[in-house]
Chain A
Amino acid sequence: MYKETILKKFEPRLDNILYILHELQDNNEQHYVSKEDLKLCADYLSVPYSFVHGVATFYTMFSLTPRGRNIIRLCDSPPCHLMGSGSLLDYLKNKLKIDVGETTKDGVFTLELTSCLGVCGVAPALMMNNATIGKLTPEKVDAILEERRKSL
């Protein structure tokens, strides 16, 4: 089972917890850390379940609920906000017919907000899964969504 393999990659030391949670989430088909994952992690590191739960909920990159196949994280920090990320957010919400934190009915996209991605020179920007994309316009957003749908 892949989860065992992930755990074995790391020594059972507490300072590996973020790496373990990252890998469990990245390899989960629904891109989240399940209760089962938290339990596995707690047992492996010999810490209480509540401790791992506390860590996982503290950091915004971890989700404890299932997400879509593609995760859109739109930057809403002041620099992107100034360059129009607000209207892009409305555009995305309308287009996908979901609110922030929700997943489309077909399970293809989850819409989230993120803090500064550090590409403010090409603002507004978003992350589509692991790829950062900047200089966004509604047309470019359309093309990105289309490209992801096609690759299903």
Chain B
Amino acid sequence: MNMVRNHVLISIDANTIIAGARAVEDALIKEIARQGLSQEIVVLETGSVGIEDQGVVLVVYPEGIYYTNITPAEVPELVEEHLLKGRVVHRLMLKETPKRFVITKEKTGLMKEQPRIVLKNCGFINPESIDEAIAADGYQAAAKALSSMKPDEIIAEVKHAGLTGRGGAAFPTGLKWEFASKVDNPVKYIVCNADEGEPGTFKDRLILEGDPHKLIESMIIGGYATGATKGFVYIRGEYELSIERLEKAIADARSYGLLGTNIFDSGFDFDITVMKGAGAYVCGEETALIESIEGKRGHPRNKPPYPITAGLWGKPTIVNNVETLSNIPEIILKGAENFKKYGTEKCSGTKVYTILGHVATPGLIETEMGTTLRDIIFEYGGGIKDGKRFKCALVGGAAGAFLGPDMLDVKMDFVNLREYAAALGSGAILVMDEDTDIVDMLKSVLHFFKHESCGHCVPCRLGTARLVELIDRIAASKGTSKDVEGLTRISETMKDTSFCPLGQSLILPVSSSLKYFKDEILARVQ
């Protein structure tokens, strides 16, 4: 092994990049190689070193010499004199060394490199221009699939990629498509669930608003693979801009012949209709969503029959989430093997997370499955706001679990989190600092469920109302320890007896908050 003699830190931040840091970095690496020093000298990028208005800044370690206002022209001299011969170039040196390494404008966490599959084009192309979408690989996967692949080849590829549903249930997408393709019925539907109502989740909105053509392309491929010739996208009514942009995108795709008859000369016909919701969280449940498309109250249906055999208007119906579908073009274009390079063994690919609450930089990231909560909060989210301490995070939306500090290093994917009685759900991560009142947060969650319970089944209708009574009493310091026990008892009963996942999932926030903060909650009762 070679000994590294020197580390050269090059400050890469907005100031230095504008001053030409990239060119200096290239020149430095080339010059070091040219003088045969590559084994001994390591060039490292760093954030701002706290020196501003001095052009490109380098720091050479172990000496700790700062060089400022460096241009590529100075690089050969610097490498030869300092790095080869060990003589400091006084002419370029900063006379007064800064007292400490001050980080002024570090790259914000959310700007860290992200492996973007689903959100590749979001924030880069003009979502209202089909030409820009096509120039950014749009419809290439559909072209490949429809012109050179058989439906079962597509399904095999999706199965092999290990893509699972990103809406929360994590059912293998390829398997769902395979079931659907084998159902013998001349009429089948593919429905995209864009009824994104889980509090703290807006990943689907980003795709609908930022890259609507990706969704259209994915649905064409899904339709072709399963034999569905008609697609529906059910978007919640509050997402005005998403509806507007997707409708424009569909109209543009029709005018280009990307929707309609005989797409890519394959003989395959396909079209998409946008359905606008009207405010009902329960419609995120697939059978309730189907009822809603049919024009009824959004009550969930009995299962079986599953939508795959009897869904929309009794016909075989494939229901996929927006994020799930948006993975398809990449899988078709680059293959399943490439897709499997991302993520964990059991859950391949990426996951889109929304990082919210008391973090320095709230927002949205796409990162590999299996990324830890710690990385998401502290690397991407920039850590806890105002230098406070981490208390817990509500992971997976309102229907998720509160996770405390002991869960920070657990690899998060759909399978792994289930082992810890938690759920990845929609990927919403609501971070709370040490000052957060957990009773108040639980109250907010339970009120949400009371409002959104559809009233179809008794356990959920009465259970959510009763839970709200209890938590209101506890929050007002008028409760007893029996009320606290009641929270668990009722949500457990609801888990066992509720008709659909809405009522079944309240146990997660209730039991997890009690697991971590029982003392805090008990301190509020007599």
Measured CB to CB, the residues of A under 8 A from B are: 13-19, 21-22, 45, 54-55, 58-62, 76-79, 81-83, 114-121, 123, 127, 130, 132
Contacts and interface: CB of A to CB of B under 8 A. Distances in A.
Contacts of B479: none
Contacts of B485: none
Contact of A18 (B202, B295, B398, B454): B295
Contact of A55 (B237, B296, B452): B296
B276 A120 contact: no
Closest 9 CB pairs of A and B: A59-B278, A14-B295, A118-B202, A77-B199, A60-B279, A61-B279, A17-B295, A116-B199, A58-B297
Contact of B276 (A19, A54, A76): A19
Interface stretch (B12-20, B261-269, B351-359): B351-359
Nearest to B358: A82
28 contacts: A15-B275, A15-B293, A16-B295, A18-B237, A18-B292, A22-B237, A54-B297, A58-B297, A61-B238, A61-B279, A76-B447, A78-B448, A81-B440, A81-B444, A82-B432, A83-B357, A115-B281, A116-B197, A116-B199, A118-B202, A120-B199, A120-B354, A120-B428, A121-B354, A121-B356, A121-B363, A123-B356, A132-B240
B196 interface: yes
A27 to B, nearest CB: 15
Nearest to A21: B278
B205 interface: yes
A59 B298 contact: yes
A58 B452 CA distance: 10
B201 interface: yes
A17 B238 CA distance: 17
B481 interface: no
B275 A18 contact: yes
A59 B398 CA distance: 20
A118 B441 contact: no
Output the residue of A13, A18, A45, A119 with the most chain B CB within 10 A.
Answer: A18
B432 A130 contact: no
Contacts of A117: 238
Interface in B343-367: 354, 356-358, 362-364
A132 B292 CA distance: 25
Contacts of B298: 58-59
A110 B354 CA distance: 31
B238 A127 contact: yes
A115 B399 CA distance: 14
A13 B197 CA distance: 26
Contacts of A76: 444, 447-448
Contact of B362 (A14, A19, A78, A121): A121
Given A82-B441, A121-B354, A58 B280 contact: yes
A87 to B, nearest CB: 12
Nearest to B448: A77
B201 A116 contact: yes
Contacts, number: 123
A123 B356 CA distance: 9
A43 B132 CA distance: 45
B199 A79 contact: yes
Contacts of B281: 115
Interface in B432-468: 432, 436, 440-441, 444-445, 447-448, 451-452, 454
A132 B202 CA distance: 14
B323 to A, nearest CB: 14
A120 B296 contact: no
B236 to A, nearest CB: 8
Interface in B234-265: 237-240
Given A115-B279, A121-B356, A78 B444 contact: yes
Interface in B195-246: 196-202, 205, 237-240
A115 B454 CA distance: 14
Given A22-B278, A115-B279, A78 B394 contact: yes
Nearest to B297: A58
Nearest to B442: A78
A117 to B, nearest CB: 6
Interface string B279-310: 11100000000001111111000000000000
A30 B364 CA distance: 37
Given A22-B276, A61-B279, A130-B240, A79 B430 contact: yes
B329 interface: no
B277 interface: yes
Contacts of A54: 297
Contacts of A58: 280, 297-298, 454
A101 B452 CA distance: 17
Given A55-B296, A61-B237, A115-B197, A18 B276 contact: yes
B405 to A, nearest CB: 18
B287 to A, nearest CB: 15
A143 to B, nearest CB: 22
Given A78-B444, A120-B356, A123-B356, A115 B278 contact: no
B209 to A, nearest CB: 10
Contacts of A127: 238
Contact of A118 (B238, B297, B362, B440): B238
Interface string B163-207: 000000000000000000000000000000000111111100100
Nearest to A127: B238
